[in-house]
Amino acid sequence: MNHAPSIGTVYLVGAGPGDPDLLTLRAARLLMHAQVVVHDGLVEPAVLAMAPRTARFVSVAKQRARHTMPQDEINALLVREALAGHDVIRLKGGDPFIFGRGGEEAEACHAAGVPVQVVPGVSAALGAAAAAQIPLTHRENASIVSFVAGQCKGLADQDWAGLAGVGRTLVIYMGVATAGMIAEKLMADGLAPDMPLAVIENASRPSMRVVRGALAGLAELVAREAVKSPALIVIGEVAARGDIMELQRMVETAR
């Protein structure tokens, strides 16, 4: 007699910014028992290696000709696997609900009657700030933090007024390619051209780099240093602080 398979669960799991040590215990436990892992390009191989060899891995990052799988196909894949009775680990860089389209995937699963659980991850802003020792809030410099997406589409129409400035920290995801537009936009909103900033590339990975400058020179800085994605831009007075901590570290090491 044929039995219909029971429905699996889709786990939307944050893999953090890169360093496998930044994975949550819950994510690690789920990975260790994974049947199917559907993952993005930003997930480190060392994190994927935590899943058993028997697990099936599906990369939705670079399919044929380096194209990302369209979102509706990813949604359909998650639903199909779960309806076939498989538990699916949907592994995403950082946190699934910060610029990760986790909301769309959860909604698609709910609509198909597939149970979903969400496991938070260390978002790139937090991982980068920690690794570069830039406190996103500081009693003297910032009591407001904003996260924005800086990619080209719709950037000109987005209202960022008041998000950056004295007493505030602005963290920009996906802003490397639009660095010049971002600086222009913020200065047009009245932000001082000498507002400090830091660009953190590959945060928490061995190849991490931190470059610093001021708002007016952002495009030139990114071009001169050949900054590549993934990178974050942190704008605000706190961005000058990591430098002080770096100097202290050097002094302590020299002692």
Give the one residue of 8, 18, 165, 196 binding ligand SAM; rule: CB under 6 A.
18
Residue 27, helix vs strand vs coil: helix
Give the one residue of 99, 129, 215, 234 binding ligand SAM; rule: CB under 6 A.
99
Give the one residue of 43, 77, 79, 94 binding ligand SAM; rule: CB under 6 A.
94
Instruction: Confirm or reject binding of residue 182 to ligand SAM (CB under 6 A).
Output: no
For the CA atoms of 139, 221, 203, 95, the dihedral, rounded to the nearest 10 degrees, stands at 70
List the interface residues with ligand SAM, window 19-78 (CB under 6 A): 42
Q: Are 100 and 94 in contact (CB under 8 A)?
A: yes
* CB 20, min distance to ligand SAM, A: 12
Alpha carbon of 171 to those of 74, 120, 150, 179: distances in Å?
28, 19, 9, 13
d(CA 107, CA 110): 5
Closer CB to ligand SAM, 53 or 66, in the complex: 66
Q: Are 145 and 171 in contact (CB under 8 A)?
A: yes
Number of residues that bind ligand SAM (CB under 6 A): 24
d(CA 114, CA 252): 54
* CB 7, min distance to ligand SAM, A: 26
Give the one residue of 27, 48, 119, 231 binding ligand SAM; rule: CB under 6 A.
231
- Amino acid identity at 151: Q
Instruction: Confirm or reject binding of residue 218 to ligand SAM (CB under 6 A).
Output: no
Give the one residue of 191, 204, 212, 213 binding ligand SAM; rule: CB under 6 A.
204
Residue positions annotated with a catalytic role: 40, 62
Instruction: Confirm or reject binding of residue 128 to ligand SAM (CB under 6 A).
Output: yes
- Amino acid identity at 222: V
- Amino acid identity at 32: M
Q: Which residues bind ligand SAM (CB under 6 A)?
A: 17-18, 42, 92-95, 98-100, 123-124, 128, 173-174, 200, 202-205, 229-232
